Copies of this chain bind each other. A is one copy, B any other.
């Protein structure tokens, strides 16, 4: 968690863009203390004849879908969150003249593992340790 899927028109992003975009996305989660390695970002380049919006070839359109797993956003915080995200990604969307659509789904924490480990509860000491180590590990006996 989260898994970001970024679909972009052929040629819209360079390798450097993708690197920086991925770092920005990661930053919005690490700011709230999520382990950096929780954040996966996949970029998918779409030729013009494979992406349609409103029945027409989508030109200059960025389509992003995200699965959130480790955190469940309370409804009343969703606008605060989405505004942050849209501002964060603006250098790769609005500021380049792209149109963009973004939606997030929530998926169950119980059906999620990393390297076979079950991620610890949100904001727990174990999660802080994972964040510090930037890798998953066995619970520490206390």
Contacts and interface: CB of A to CB of B under 8 A. Distances in A.
Closest 6 CB pairs of A and B: A22-B52, A36-B54, A26-B55, A104-B111, A78-B110, A105-B107
Interface string A80-108: 01100010000000100001111111111
Contact of A134 (B51, B54, B101, B105): B54
Interface string A1-30: 101000100000001001100110111000
Number of chain copies forming the complex:
3
Give the interface residue-count category, chain A. Answer: 35 or more
B108 A19 contact: no
Given A42-B52, A73-B110, A86-B113, 18 more contacts: A3-B65, A7-B42, A19-B57, A22-B52, A25-B55, A26-B52, A39-B53, A40-B58, A40-B63, A41-B51, A42-B46, A78-B111, A99-B114, A101-B115, A102-B113, A103-B107, A103-B111, A106-B111
